[in-house]
């Protein structure tokens, strides 16, 4: 099975390596630092599963896409989440579904920075710069674990087997379901009803899967996916959501990863990526068995 069905082996290993952290995140009363360590372990489950699968199934590690991208591609991965965040939240702020405000962000910035004598504007600017730089780097280090698995191993194989239409769809659905044990089964942190949040999150992740696949195809590098993932985690909830305050009941249904605006935005991006897909294989030549 190892050599004939490497994708099945990868999924089984991902589940086994993720299970301890599912349990810890749902059962432990650890503080924020402990939970961050658990999340890091969980996020590296797919990456370790991909590496083990390659070793056990004798698949070249080069197929995971280690090539360092050019500067333009790296910047593209970094800037895309900032762009779709501005688009989605710009509509929220412009239509009154939510209001742009520092009411939440300012107290958060003061707690994080811890310099009471610094002015409001300066402390918020300091935090924003750190979020766009240091937080981005930390999130890339965590996200790389996921991306070695999803976009290094699984995604390219599903694209090569099923094409760019179905490949990212299947990858995105698997990626979304992998989040469920933490986000929705026992520990859902959001305000919208759980079924609504699950649907929006699944649509968002599946739509974004096409963006990740598009970057992977264009660059042949897993690093661009890690940059995109790290940038998303650094700016969407910690910046855009915290800069938005409620204007009514609809706000909680519109914002963040569990709201409809990012879901709609991701679908629009998926359609664009599908139309502009690269019509060539994303993997180096490997035996057909390695794609099963």
- Per the domain annotation, does 193 fall within a domain? yes
Residue 149 lies in a domain: yes
Confidence of residue 277 (pLDDT cuts 50, 70, 90): confident
CB-facing half-sphere around the CA of 274: CA atoms within 13 A: 17
Classify residue 53: in a domain, yes or no.
no
How far apart, in whole angstroms, are the C-alpha atoms of residue 82 and residue 100?
16
Following DSSP, what letter does each residue of 202-214 receive, concatenated?
HHHHHHHHHHHHH
Strand partners, 98: 246
Question: Distance of CA 103 to CAs 77, 97, 177, 188, 244, Å?
Answer: 30, 16, 34, 24, 8
For the chain, give the mean pLDDT.
Answer: 91
E-strand stretches of the chain = 98-100, 244-246
Please indicate, yes or no, if residue 228 is contained in any of the structural domains: yes
Query: Number of folded domains in the chain?
Result: 1
Average pLDDT of the segment spanning 143-151 = 97
* pLDDT of 284 over the 80 cut: no
What pLDDT does residue 70 have? Answer: 82
Residue 288, judged by CB atoms within 10 A of its CB (0-12, 13-18, 19+), counts as exposed
The answer as to whether 291 is a domain residue is: no
| Domain membership flag for residue 62 | no
| Residue 134 forms part of a structural domain | yes
Domain that holds residue 188: 67-284
The answer to whether residue 156 is domain-embedded is yes
């Amino acid at each position: 099975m190892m050599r004939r069905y490497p994708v099945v082996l990868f999924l089984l290993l991902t589940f086994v390596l993720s299970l301890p952290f599912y349990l810890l995140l749902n059962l432990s009363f650890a503080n924020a630092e402990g939970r961050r360590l658990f999340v890091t372990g969980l996020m590296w489950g797919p990456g370790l599963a991909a590496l083990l699968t390659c070793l056990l199934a004798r698949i070249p590690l080069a197929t995971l896409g280690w090539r360092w991208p050019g500067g333009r591609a790296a910047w593209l991965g970094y800037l895309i989440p900032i762009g779709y965040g501005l688009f989605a939240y710009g509509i929220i702020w412009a239509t009154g579904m939510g209001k742009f405000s520092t009411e939440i962000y300012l107290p958060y910035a003061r707690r994080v920075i811890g310099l009471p004598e610094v002015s409001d504007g300066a402390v918020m600017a300091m935090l924003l710069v750190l979020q766009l730089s240091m937080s981005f780097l930390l999130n890339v280090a965590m996200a790389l674990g996921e991306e070695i698995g999803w976009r290094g191993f699984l995604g390219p194989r599903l694209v090569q087997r099923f094409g760019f239409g179905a490949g990212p769809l299947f990858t995105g659905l698997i990626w979304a379901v992998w989040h469920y044990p933490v986000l929705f089964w026992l520990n859902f942190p959001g305000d919208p009803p759980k079924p609504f949040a699950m649907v929006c999150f699944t649509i968002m992740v599946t739509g974004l899967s096409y963006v990740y696949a598009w970057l992977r195809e264009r660059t042949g590098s897993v690093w661009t996916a890690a940059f995109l993932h790290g940038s998303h985690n650094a700016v969407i909830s910690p910046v855009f959501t915290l800069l938005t305050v409620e204007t009514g009941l609809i706000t909680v249904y519109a914002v963040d990863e569990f709201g409809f605006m990012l879901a709609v935005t991701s679908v629009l991006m998926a359609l664009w990526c599908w139309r502009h897909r690269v019509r060539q294989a994303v993997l180096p030549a490997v035996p057909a068995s390695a794609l099963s």
